[in-house]
Structure 1
Amino acid sequence: MFSQVYYVIRSTTDGRYLVAHPEINSETTNSTGYLLIFSQDFEALSYLNTHGKDVANRFAVESVPGSQLKNLLKRWGFAGVGVVRDPLLPTIEFFAQI
């Protein structure tokens, strides 16, 4: 995981990352969210163009080395990551930060 490069989607207007806020149950809602990460840059672009075509021009895809991922999660206060396995459906696996 540390040697791999991941791709994230970031707003060009305010610098925020694209996150997911899954509802585990009605009583527990995580306000910080899970950072969505992709294994390839074209998957991130495909996700953005499929699910946000009206606002796609307001976002950019950035690469993040796996070695910096943990620091990024801490700095922004994310609950963990959401690994997007299929950008078209989308299929996302959520992993909490340890």
Structure 2
Amino acid sequence: MFTKSYYLLRSTHDGQYLAAKPRNIENSQGFLMLFKADHEALSYVNQHAAEVANRFSVEPISGQQLKQMIDRWGYAGVGVVNDPLVPEVEFLSKQ
């Protein structure tokens, strides 16, 4: 996981990254959503949030930077999006 490059969706409004937040865990930053390609990130936001798609930008991140970002922002782990249209997401906890 740390040798690959991924893509993130970041809000141009407040700078927050797209994260999945579990309903049953209070005060959690959630899981940082990762995409394997930039076009998959765009497909995801256009399919599931078309009305706000123009408020997001796609940013690349190396696998080496990923752990530092998870720790810095306090994420519980990552959600790797395998299919952006369904969506099919594999959640991985940092523990």
Length-normalised TM-score, structure 2: 0.93
Give CA deviations for 1:39-64 in whole Å, capped at 9, x if unaligned. Answer: 11110000010001000010001000
Q: Any gaps of 5 or more consecutive residues in structure 2?
A: none
Q: Any gaps of 5 or more consecutive residues in structure 1?
A: none
User: How many residues were matched structurally?
Assistant: 94
Residues 50-69 of structure 1 aligned to structure 2 (within 5 Å): 50-69=47-66
C-alpha RMSD over aligned residues: 1.1
Q: Which amino acid aligns with 1:10?
A: R
* CA-CA distance at 1:2 after TM superposition: 2.2
Length-normalised TM-score, structure 1: 0.91
What is the aligned partner in structure 2 of residue 8 from structure 1? 8
Identity %: 54
CA distance in 2, matches of 1:97, 1:49: 28
CA distance in 2, matches of 1:59, 1:51: 13
The answer to whether the aligner puts 1:86 opposite 2:89 as a matched pair is: no
